[in-house]
């Protein structure tokens, strides 16, 4: 590195300029440009030999780089590096398109080969040392077993929000054959990070990128497009220009060397500060360098080229095996684009009638014709990529449909191995009111109108001989979970058109373990768009209202009604009054005891307060009373259900003395509001057709 002395006046002026700098275009607030320093510190903490090894080998690294510089024009071999992208996603925007990945590869290769269009903007002081690094990156065409592959893996996992080394354990191809690049929703709070080459930690070797810093299109943009170029520099043993820290613009950075002779000593540009005349350590800063934070990067230097190429000639981290003839052959990066696989993705696999589904072709390689069979009698084929490659299809009938894709070119054709199964739900598959007790041959569960989804751990399942009423309930054997697992039980569609309000009632039971209080979570969620998005309506937590019974040392199974409680949720927002409303119960384990739900009731109320469609329900199931809120502060809404034309609601005090008598007129059900109730315990009694039910109501201050 060129060394010089900075003057205090010049340094003060440079620091003053920073305060006048404009906002960072394209830089997300709170996201660091690079997390290499933090990641390296964590890595060195796990492998302390790594830091000492870098210190001991630094002289040899510089000598090797100098030897490359001395060869000059004779060092002209183009090193080809096989690359595999692992897109770790949760079906969100982090599941970036193949086009965005290809764009990122194009930007990366242009930068390393000095083919980027903005080289003409490099300032005069550095034009002569701006380097073609003679390194190219190619997506792998074969996996570690030699099978045909696109070079892109897509894996659904919630560790995308973590982005740490733990996420890398999901998948990691051998580092002596591939450069592993991970795309995730989070990259440790940074735009990206990686580690310097090391003899240790082979299963953590790779680059992690936040999805919106990949390439220049899709979720990213041109201002963020050099993140992969920057991290590849670290991956090939380049520090930041101000040294191995994440702290540019500090006064003592002028005393720190980056191990490269032709990069001037500098403080380092603050994030997004692109001052092309900046001179912080007595000479012009190389602000446009890819290892800066200026966000106007355009070049590597000849010295950086030599240092990176020396890393590729070192056995540290197996970098010298990546570009060998044998590995190029094994990874298939130079193979002709022979058609070998038909594959596709779809934005959803469960929709309602009339909803459009977007299909995306993921076949490879060299496809020129597409033929889609949607399984509903509709086929779609042609050679126009803009029309036939990624079609949108609307299913006009409900049911299950198997979708296949056949792709072709001049060498032949291939059909997708396994179909993608699309479930198309009809509107109003659940007729109201819904009364679900999970009993044999009774209710929507027995008709297959509920589905269970689990992200690891124990799922929702039937429990025999544990119920609030009847003999069965739905439960999660949470005692077997470690914590962090999520399971959901989702309904089919409910026709809520024309309602004034929708009532969702249910019973639940839960207990802590005797050894620990945990914050397990039970949520009631509703969807107005057939399950595409969800809104949480009720959230029961282990630290507040989820426990209903004393702590249990073993597996908790509720022993009676007193170990259950209930909730009634009223939905009044008319955006939910659609023909394909869906609801689900989501349980997130935090390592507590078993959880149960039973006696789910879903019914609508019209603008007059009438409970709709109750006359169609079996008499034995249609009688009941509920009140909310309970406990109440003196005003309570009561829903009464009965078969017939009239009923009576009696309000008594705790001693049984009659306080009020309210006649209920209607055909099958009625809602009424009670005001001015005194503090204490009240008994609400419903009488109709010789039947009686009593509900305990508590009124607080």
Residue 287: give its domain's CATH number: 3.40.390.10
- Does 24 fall in a domain? no
Q: Are residues 350 and 391 in the same domain?
A: yes
* Domain annotation covers residue 554: yes
Q: Residue 394's domain is classified under what CATH number?
A: 2.60.40.10
339 part of a folded domain: no
548 confidence band (pLDDT: 50, 70, 90): very high
DSSP 656: -
Lookup: tokens for 136: 């190219």
Tokens encoding 272:
């997004």
Can you tell me the distance from the alpha carbon of 288 to that of 299, in angstroms, rounded to the nearest whole number? 6
* Spatial distance between the Cα atoms of 624 and 333, rounded to a whole number of angstroms: 69
The pLDDT of residue 9 is 37
The C-alpha atoms of residue 472 and residue 438 are separated, in whole angstroms, by: 6
What is 254-280 written as a DSSP string? GG---S-TTSPP---PPTT---TT--S
203 and 90 within one domain = yes
Residues 347-373, mean pLDDT to the nearest whole number: 93
User: 414 Cβ partners below 8 Å, 6+ apart?
Assistant: 339, 340, 341, 342, 363, 406, 407, 408
Other Cβ atoms within 10 Å of 98 Cβ, number: 20
Residue whose pair of structure tokens reads 């095996």 in the numeric block? 321
- How many domains, in total, are found in the chain? 4
Band of the pLDDT at 245, cuts 50, 70, 90?
confident
CA distance 377 to 230: 50
Q: Are residues 150 and 272 in the same domain?
A: yes
Distance CA 237, CA 120 (A): 27
Whether 549 and 402 map to the same domain: the answer is: no
Same domain? 44 vs 170: yes
In a domain, 154, yes or no: yes
Runs of H (alpha helix) within 522-568: none
Burial of 486 (0-12, 13-18, 19+ CB in 10 A): middle
* pLDDT for position 657: 85
Does residue 338 fall inside a structural domain?
A: no
- In 3D, which of 178, 101, 114, 209 has the Cα closest to residue 333? 178
Q: Which residues pair with 507 in a beta bridge?
A: 566, 598
Report helix, strand or coil for 112: helix
Q: Confidence class of residue 696 from pLDDT cuts 50, 70 and 90?
A: confident
Residue 4 in this model has a pLDDT that exceeds 60: no
Mean pLDDT of 21-38: 68
Residues 681, 602 share a domain = no
Which one, of 462, 457, 510, lies nearest residue 486 by Cα?
457
Mean pLDDT across 616-632? 66
Instruction: Let me know how long the chain is.
Output: 701
CA angle 569, 575, 577 (to 5 degrees): 70
Residues 568 and 603 sit within 8 Å (Cβ to Cβ)? no
Per-residue pLDDT tens digits for 527-540: 999 998 999 999 99
Same domain, 397 and 535: no
Supply the mean pLDDT for the chain: 90
Q: What is the pLDDT of residue 630?
A: 78
**Domain membership flag for residue 2:** no
Place of tokens 């009696």: 650
Tell me, yes or no, whether 415 and 489 share the same domain.
no
Q: What pLDDT does residue 15 have?
A: 38
Report pTM. Answer: 0.70
Question: Radius of gyration of the chain from Cα atoms?
Answer: 33
Mean pLDDT in residue range 228-249: 94
Q: Per the structure block, which two tokens stand in for 354?
A: 């009339």
Q: What percent of the chain has pLDDT over 70?
A: 94
Same domain, 264 and 391: no
Using an 8 Å Cβ cutoff, are 654 and 698 in contact? no
Known catalytic residues? 231
Residue 688: the pLDDT is 85
Whether residue 229 is predicted with pLDDT greater than 70 in this model: the reply is: yes
Q: pLDDT tens-digit profile of 481-510?
A: 989 999 999 999 999 988 888 989 999 999
Residue-wise pLDDT tens digits, 327-336 = 999 999 999 8
The alpha-helical segments, DSSP class H, found in 379-508 are none
pLDDT at 14 over 50: no
CA distance 656 to 186: 61
Do 265 and 367 lie in one domain? The reply is no
Q: What are phi and psi of 632, to 5 degrees?
A: -125, 160
Cis, bond preceding 512 (omega within 30 deg of 0): no
Q: Is residue 51 part of a domain?
A: yes
Decide: 351 and 424 in contact? Cβ < 8 Å. Answer: yes
CATH of the domain at 673: 2.60.40.3080
pLDDT at 615: 42
Cα angle, residue 638 at apex, residues 632 and 639 outer, rounded to 5°:
145
Instruction: Mark which of 607, 623, 650 sits at the end of a domain.
Output: 607
Which phi and psi (to 5°) does residue 111 adopt?
-65, -45
Q: How confident is the model at residue 610 (pLDDT cuts 50, 70, 90)?
A: confident
Q: Residue 609 pLDDT more than 90?
A: no
Q: Clarify whether residues 352 and 453 are in a common domain.
A: no
Read off the tokens for 408: 């072709």
Tokens at 380, concatenated: 């779609």
pLDDT value at position 523? 97
Element housing 435 (H / E): strand 434-436
- With a cut of 90, say whether residue 260 has pLDDT above it: yes
Strongest mean pLDDT among 5-9, 489-493, 607-611: 489-493
Does one domain contain both 589 and 642? no
Q: Is the pLDDT assigned to residue 163 strictly greater than 60?
A: yes
Q: Across residues 164-190, what is the average pLDDT?
A: 96
Expressed as residue numbers, the domain containing 275 is: 8-19+33-331
- Percent of the chain whose predicted confidence (pLDDT) is above 90: 71
According to the model, what pLDDT value does residue 11 have?
39
Contact 641, 624 (CB under 8 A): yes
Q: State the Cα–Cα distance between residues 342 and 373, nearest whole angstrom.
A: 13
β-strand partners of 382: 370
More confidently predicted of 308 and 347: 308
Q: What is the pLDDT of residues 69-82, one digit of tens each?
A: 999 999 999 999 99
* pLDDT for position 196: 96
The C-alpha atoms of residue 601 and residue 580 are separated, in whole angstroms, by 17
Last residue of a domain, one of 378, 409, 425: 425
User: For residue 28, what are the contacts with CB-CB under 8 A and spacing of at least 6?
Assistant: 191, 212
Q: Is residue 460 part of a domain?
A: yes
Band of pLDDT at residue 27, cut at 50, 70 and 90:
low
What's the pLDDT score for residue 10?
38
């Amino acid at each position: 590195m060129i060394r010089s002395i900075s003057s205090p006046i010049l340094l003060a002026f440079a620091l003053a300029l920073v305060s006048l700098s404009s906002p960072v275009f394209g830089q997300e607030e709170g996201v660091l440009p690079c997390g290499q320093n933090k990641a390296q510190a964590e890595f060195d903490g796990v492998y302390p030999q790594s830091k000492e090894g870098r210190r001991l080998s630094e002289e040899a690294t510089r000598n090797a780089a100098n030897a490359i510089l001395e060869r000059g024009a004779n060092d002209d071999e183009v090193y080809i590096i096989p690359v595999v992208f692992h897109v770790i996603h949760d079906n969100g925007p982090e599941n970036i398109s193949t086009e965005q990945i290809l764009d990122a590869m194009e930007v990366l290769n242009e930068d390393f080969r000095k083919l980027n269009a903005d080289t003409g903007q490099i300032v005069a002081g550095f034009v002569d040392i701006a380097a073609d690094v003679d390194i190219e990156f190619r997506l792998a065409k074969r996996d570690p077993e030699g099978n045909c592959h696109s070079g892109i893996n897509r894996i659904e996992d919630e560790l995308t929000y973590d982005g740490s080394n733990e996420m890398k354990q999901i998948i990691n191809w051998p580092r002596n054959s591939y450069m592993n690049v991970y795309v995730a929703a989070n990259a440790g709070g940074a735009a990206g990070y990686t580690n310097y080459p090391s003899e240790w930690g082979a299963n953590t070797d790779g680059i992690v990128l936040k999805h919106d810093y990949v390439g220049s299109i899709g979720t990213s943009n041109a201002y963020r497009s050099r993140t992969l170029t920057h991290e590849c520099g670290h991956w090939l043993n380049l520090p930041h220009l101000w040294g191995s820290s994440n702290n540019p613009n500090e006064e003592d950075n002028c005393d720190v060397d980056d191990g490269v002779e032709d990069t001037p000593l500098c403080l380092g540009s603050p994030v997004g500060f692109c001052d092309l005349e900046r001179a912080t350590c007595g000479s012009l800063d190389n602000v446009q360098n890819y290892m800066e934070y200026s966000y106007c990067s355009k070049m590597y230097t000849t010295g950086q080229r030599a240092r990176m190429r020396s890393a590729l000639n070192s056995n540290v981290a197996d970098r010298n095996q990546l570009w060998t003839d044998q590995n190029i052959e094994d990874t298939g990066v130079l193979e002709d684009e022979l058609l070998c696989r038909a594959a596709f993705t779809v934005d959803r696999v469960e929709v309602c009638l009339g909803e459009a589904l977007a299909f995306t072709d993921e076949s490879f390689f060299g496809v020129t014709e597409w033929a889609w069979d949607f399984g509903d009698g509709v086929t779609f084929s042609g050679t126009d990529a803009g029309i036939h490659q990624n079609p949108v299809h609307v299913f006009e009938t409900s049911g299950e449909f198997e979708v296949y894709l056949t792709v072709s070119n001049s060498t032949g054709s291939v059909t997708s191995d396994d179909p993608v199964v699309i479930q198309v739900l009809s509107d109003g598959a659940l007729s109201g009111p819904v009364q679900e007790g999970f009993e044999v041959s009774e209710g929507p569960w027995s008709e297959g109108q509920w589905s269970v989804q689990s992200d690891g751990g124990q799922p929702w399942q039937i429990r025999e001989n544990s119920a609030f009423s009847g003999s069965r309930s739905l439960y999660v054997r949470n005692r077997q979970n470690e914590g962090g697992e999520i399971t959901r039980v989702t309904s089919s569609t409910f026709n809520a058109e024309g309602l004034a309000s929708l009532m969702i009632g249910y019973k639940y039971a839960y207990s802590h373990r005797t050894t620990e209080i945990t914050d397990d979570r039970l949520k009631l969620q509703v969807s107005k768009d057939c399950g595409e998005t969800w809104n949480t309506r009720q959230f029961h937590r282990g630290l507040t209202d989820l426990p209903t019974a004393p702590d249990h040392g073993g597996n908790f199974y509720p022993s009676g009604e007193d170990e259950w409680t209930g909730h009634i949720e009223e939905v009044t927002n008319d955006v939910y009054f659609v023909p394909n409303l869906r609801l689900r119960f989501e349980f997130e384990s935090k390592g507590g005891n078993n959880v149960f739900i039973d006696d789910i009731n879903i019914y609508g109320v019209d603008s007059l307060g009438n409970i709709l469609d109750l006359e169609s329900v079996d008499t034995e199931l249609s009688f009941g009373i509920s009140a909310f809120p309970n406990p109440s502060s003196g005003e309570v809404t009561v829903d009464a259900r009965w078969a017939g034309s009239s009923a009576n609601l009696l309000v008594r005090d705790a001693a049984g003395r009659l306080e009020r008598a309210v006649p209920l007129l209607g055909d099958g059900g009625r809602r009424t509001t009670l005001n001015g109730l005194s503090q204490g315990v009240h008994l609400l009694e419903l009488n109709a057709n010789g039947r009686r039910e009593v509900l305990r109501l508590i009124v607080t201050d």
